[in-house]
Chains A and B, each alone.
Chain A
Amino acid sequence: MDDFLAARLQMAFSLGFHIVFACIGMVMPFFMSVAHFYWLKTKKAVYKDVTKAWSKGVAIFFATGAVSGTVLSFELGLLWPTFMEHAGPIFGMPFSLEGTAFFIEAIALGFYLYGWGKLNPWFHWFTGVVVGISGLLSGILVVAANAWMNSPAGFDFVDGKYLNIDPIKAMFNDAWFSQALHMSVAAFVSTGFAVAGVHALMILRRKNVLFHSKAFKIAAVFGTVAACLQPISGDISAKDVAHRQPAKLAAMEAHFHTERNAPLIIGGIPDTANKRVDYAIKIPGLLSFMTTGDFNGEVKGLDAIPKEDQPPVAVTHYAFQIMVGLGMAMVLIALLYFIALWKKQQWLKSNWLLKLFVIATPMGFIALEAGWTVTEVGRQPWIINGVMRTADAATPMPGIAYSFYLFTGVYISLAIIVSLLLYRQITMVDKLYDSTSKLSKT
């Protein structure tokens, strides 16, 4: 394998792996705190059991997220030294603040996990909330760093030199808000649906129904509410992309020709050679309306971008379709769930709704990975949009392919062990949490 491709793939794998754990690490603490809150309020043992079961999950995911994050902070230099040499001082601000957020998160987690029976109950609960808030904050900060790569700011680029650095301006670049918002909501969607799906499956199997119903409800409410917000936030992102990275938007939409009254292209197979999309559904004027607010607005196509600056169209387009498609599917499930909650209580008891949630278990995370593929592949061939090319940033060391195989192996084995661990965690629920099993028997 060619070294440059290997480096890109290694980065993508590491990030794709880390993001799953990071999302769970920032969202699970909120679920856990809600369950914990109910326990402190109602003194129903089942809530304590849910809290404890989840806190074990949080610990596992936190540690895996933390090590994969540690690896990332080295990998940036190991794989992209030229990028880091110039970008480090500029986009470093969010990273140095993120350090603080991580630290607080880790300390709070120490209090939380080891604090049962040692701390004042409400202080103990509060440390759990702090874990969630600081996790969310670190997610937002690191995404601000990524946003800078899409929308570089806070320096003057003169004759290949990076002058007049302003790290604060770099952090609050044009893209940070839309990306951070979309990412945070996505974390709730994906974790909410994943957790709800697992508990739904256990309810269907009639295991510890009380325990799993409580857990299901907390996760499902978070996930479904977030799912409904996601298209709104996605729309903000899309407008933003149209404005700052027309090449990326054109690739997402497989939009080859600059035109007014541009159609929204759904699905289809982009044919780059002949510059057209086959078998797609086209809604006239909608793309113009969505990006400019006017059905007759002009949308730049790929023909407006020099050939050597065009991102790969097919991958970006497919990834975008997957993300939006799954996003819409989850909105649908969310609406059904709301109807069930408010109008049709009997649906909650029936199997089909639970089965829908089971099917939706991986959807959020698939959409999340697809979304990052859109953002990152859509930025190519640039590592810093319009400033530095990815190919110029890579390490001079040969043999990166081996490092790629090595890390891929490590990540795959970690993923297997974590899944196994979770599986055991879930199947052990009836043995570990006596209080519920007694309750559910009566």
Chain B
Amino acid sequence: MIYVVIVFLWTSILLYILLGGADFGAGIIELFTSKGNRSKTRKTMYEAIGPIWEANHMWLIIAIVILFVGFPKIYTTVSIYLHIPLVCMLLGVIARGTAFVFRNYDAVKDDMQKLYTPIFVYSSLITPFFLGIIAASSVSGQIDIQAQDFLSAYVFSWLNWFSVTVGIFTVSICGFLATIFIIGQAANDDDRSFFIRKARRTIYIVMFCGALVFVAAYHENIPLASWIFGDTLGLTAIIAASISLIIMFFLLQRKKPILLRLLAGFQVTMILFAATYSHFPDIILLKNGSNLSLLTHQGQAKAIDTLGYALLIGSIFILPALVYLIYIFQQKKEVQETY
């Protein structure tokens, strides 16, 4: 049952990155779009994401619940030593979620929008940035449970070049997912080629940020390269990811939005796989050299079993409904009844 639970944990993190990421990306793209094209981008994005965004951050919650029910020691270690970036991420989540609703449901469309929009776009940037920092810090070996002073226990646990670059990389991935997603949503050919240009640019940016991560890892003496390239499976995943990136580059011009989306999703899946597989089952690497592992730090068997059953039963209800929801709203939209 422990493996069922781990698969759910991994999948919910992946889905949060994919669906939530495209969602954050929407805000990021808006930030980097010139004024003239902004409202077009926003409208297209909103149509694509509106119906499912409510469900998106549920993946995050599920991951958290799995952690505290199944792996309490891991949950509490992260909560204590990464308190500050977690709070920053939470502020982003609050600001973003509420700003999104406010700007779409405010009965009066007036100057208040000028307040909501910047909150929305900047929090779209901040949230994945800190998410990346948290993920990177858990494996960067800087969490020091013996530290005596505030700075080394609660600040340097996450503030280092490696974590920061992973944060930036996460932001770029979100932007990338959003641009790929939006292509299929374009209303006409002009918009399409506009979005394609955007997509191409974000692909360059993703590659650049990815390279930065390696530089930073080298600088911080984190054996990232050997984690990823030292292992056949990890290496295969990375190669697959690169190949799909290249294919995507050539496919951008063709009208195959679904294929593009699948490839983008596949690529991110492979990156996450490579990043996590290399030191599975350890998920927290501590400064003192010991690790917190999903297998040795799991909760008592009974807790894991019931958690596993709860997840299995839950997914029987959820998955079909979710798929149906996405399917319905991907159908060519009639004029939305507005009021």
Question: Please, which residues of chain B bring their CB within 8 A of the CB of A84?
Answer: 68, 72, 75-76, 79
Q: Check if B100 sits within 8 Å of A63, measured CB to CB.
A: yes
Surface stretch bound by B, among A34-42, A67-75, A363-371: A67-75
Question: Please, which residues of chain A bring their CB within 8 A of the CB of B192?
Answer: none
Question: Please, which residues of chain A bring their CB within 8 A of the CB of B69?
Answer: 88-89, 92-93, 95-96
Residue of A nearest to B331 (CB): A118
Surface stretch bound by A, among B194-202, B269-277, B308-316: B308-316
Q: Check if B314 sits within 8 Å of A96, measured CB to CB.
A: yes
Shortest distance between the CB of B86 and any CB in chain A (Å): 6
Give Cα A406–Cα B302 distance, bound, in whole angstroms. 39
Does any Cβ of B come within 8 Å of A306's Cβ? no
Q: Check if A70 sits within 8 Å of B306, measured CB to CB.
A: no
Question: Please, which residues of chain A bring their CB within 8 A of the CB of B268?
Answer: none
A:108-135 near B, CB below 8 Å = 108-111, 113-119
Shortest distance between the CB of B90 and any CB in chain A (Å): 5
Q: Check if A165 sits within 8 Å of B302, measured CB to CB.
A: yes
Does any Cβ of A come within 8 Å of B329's Cβ? yes
Residue of A85, A109, A168 touching B54 (CB-CB under 8 A) = A109
Asked, given contacts A89-B72, A110-B51, whether A71 binds B79 with beta carbons under 8 Å apart, the answer is: no
Residue of B51, B70, B75 touching A114 (CB-CB under 8 A) = B51
Surface stretch bound by A, among B36-44, B102-110, B205-213: B102-110
Does any Cβ of A come within 8 Å of B176's Cβ? no
Shortest distance between the CB of B154 and any CB in chain A (Å): 6
Does any Cβ of A come within 8 Å of B61's Cβ? yes
Q: Check if A56 sits within 8 Å of B65, measured CB to CB.
A: no
Give Cα A433–Cα B331 distance, bound, in whole angstroms. 29
Shortest distance between the CB of A259 and any CB in chain B (Å): 43
Q: Check if B154 sits within 8 Å of A66, measured CB to CB.
A: no
Q: Check if A421 sits within 8 Å of B106, measured CB to CB.
A: yes
Question: Please, which residues of chain B bring their CB within 8 A of the CB of A184?
Answer: none
Does any Cβ of B come within 8 Å of A424's Cβ? yes
Surface stretch bound by B, among A98-106, A274-282, A317-325: A98-106
Give Cα A432–Cα B107 distance, bound, in whole angstroms. 8
Asked, given contacts A395-B79, A397-B80, whether A70 binds B62 with beta carbons under 8 Å apart, the answer is: no
Does any Cβ of A come within 8 Å of B300's Cβ? yes
Residue of A nearest to B97 (CB): A67
Residue of A nearest to B307 (CB): A96
Question: Please, which residues of chain B bring their CB within 8 A of the CB of A398?
Answer: 150
Does any Cβ of B come within 8 Å of A107's Cβ? yes
Question: Please, which residues of chain A bring their CB within 8 A of the CB of B50?
Answer: 114
Does any Cβ of B come within 8 Å of A225's Cβ? no
Question: Please, which residues of chain B bring their CB within 8 A of the CB of A258?
Answer: none
Q: Check if B91 sits within 8 Å of A410, measured CB to CB.
A: yes
Does any Cβ of A come within 8 Å of B247's Cβ? no
**Binary contact readout A218-232 vs B (1 if CB under 8 angstroms, 0 otherwise):** 000000000000000
Question: Please, which residues of chain A bring their CB within 8 A of the CB of B337?
Answer: 116-117
Asked, given contacts A84-B79, A92-B65, A397-B80, whether A74 binds B105 with beta carbons under 8 Å apart, the answer is: no
Give Cα A238–Cα B71 distance, bound, in whole angstroms. 36
**Binary contact readout A36-75 vs B (1 if CB under 8 angstroms, 0 otherwise):** 0000000000000000100010011011101111110110
Question: Please, which residues of chain A bring their CB within 8 A of the CB of B61?
Answer: 69-70, 73, 99, 102
A:124-156 near B, CB below 8 Å = none
Q: Check if A88 sits within 8 Å of B98, measured CB to CB.
A: no
Question: Please, which residues of chain B bring their CB within 8 A of the CB of A104?
Answer: 317-318, 321
Give Cα A96–Cα B311 distance, bound, in whole angstroms. 7
Does any Cβ of A come within 8 Å of B250's Cβ? no
Residue of B nearest to A100 (CB): B314
Q: Check if A81 sits within 8 Å of B65, measured CB to CB.
A: no
Question: Please, which residues of chain B bring their CB within 8 A of the CB of A71?
Answer: 90, 93-94
Q: Check if A67 sits within 8 Å of B79, measured CB to CB.
A: no
Label chain B's interface by main secondary structure: helix
Q: Check if B318 sits within 8 Å of A107, measured CB to CB.
A: yes
Residue of B76, B94, B311, B334 touching A410 (CB-CB under 8 A) = B94
Does any Cβ of B come within 8 Å of A82's Cβ? yes
Asked, given contacts A73-B65, A110-B54, whether A165 binds B303 with beta carbons under 8 Å apart, the answer is: yes
Q: Check if B97 sits within 8 Å of A63, measured CB to CB.
A: yes
Residue of A78, A82, A97, A433 touching B310 (CB-CB under 8 A) = A97
Does any Cβ of B come within 8 Å of A417's Cβ? yes
Residue of A nearest to B64 (CB): A73
Q: Check if B105 sits within 8 Å of A421, measured CB to CB.
A: yes
Q: Check if B303 sits within 8 Å of A106, measured CB to CB.
A: no
Residue of A52, A70, A108 touching B339 (CB-CB under 8 A) = A52
Question: Please, which residues of chain B bring their CB within 8 A of the CB of A66?
Answer: 54, 57, 97
Asked, given contacts A70-B61, A107-B325, A118-B328, whether A63 binds B98 with beta carbons under 8 Å apart, the answer is: yes
Give Cα A391–Cα B57 distance, bound, in whole angstroms. 32
Shortest distance between the CB of B256 and any CB in chain A (Å): 26
Does any Cβ of A come within 8 Å of B257's Cβ? no
Give Cα A78–Cα B54 distance, bound, in whole angstroms. 24
Q: Check if A397 sits within 8 Å of B87, measured CB to CB.
A: no
Q: Check if A96 sits within 8 Å of B310, measured CB to CB.
A: yes
Question: Please, which residues of chain B bring their CB within 8 A of the CB of A70?
Answer: 57, 60-61, 90, 93, 97
Does any Cβ of B come within 8 Å of A341's Cβ? no
Does any Cβ of B come within 8 Å of A90's Cβ? yes
Question: Please, which residues of chain B bring their CB within 8 A of the CB of A108?
Answer: 321
Q: Check if B303 sits within 8 Å of A99, measured CB to CB.
A: no
B:80-101 near A, CB below 8 Å = 80, 83, 86-87, 90-91, 93-94, 97-98, 100-101
Q: Check if A99 sits within 8 Å of B300, measured CB to CB.
A: no
Q: Check if A397 sits within 8 Å of B65, measured CB to CB.
A: no
Does any Cβ of A come within 8 Å of B245's Cβ? no
Give Cα A20–Cα B51 distance, bound, in whole angstroms. 24
Question: Please, which residues of chain A bring their CB within 8 A of the CB of B216?
Answer: none
Q: Check if A67 sits within 8 Å of B87, measured CB to CB.
A: no
Most buried by B among A64, A118, A433: A118
- In the complex, 18 of the A-B residue pairs with CB atoms within 8 angstroms, ordered by the A residue number, are A70-B90, A78-B79, A82-B76, A88-B72, A88-B299, A89-B70, A92-B69, A96-B311, A104-B317, A110-B54, A115-B328, A167-B303, A395-B79, A395-B83, A403-B83, A424-B106, A424-B107, A432-B339
| 13 further interface pairs, Cβ-Cβ under 8 Å (given A89-B300, A93-B307) | A66-B54, A71-B94, A73-B61, A84-B72, A85-B73, A95-B65, A103-B317, A106-B54, A114-B50, A117-B336, A119-B328, A403-B87, A417-B102
B interface residue numbers (CB < 8 A to A): 50-52, 54-55, 57-58, 60-62, 64-66, 68-70, 72-73, 75-76, 78-80, 83, 86-87, 90-91, 93-94, 97-98, 100-102, 105-108, 150, 153-154, 299-300, 302-303, 306-307, 310-311, 313-314, 317-318, 321-322, 325, 328-329, 334, 336-337, 339
Q: Which 8 A-B residue pairings sit nearest by Cβ, starting from the closest?
A: A92-B69, A77-B79, A100-B314, A89-B303, A89-B299, A81-B76, A67-B97, A63-B101
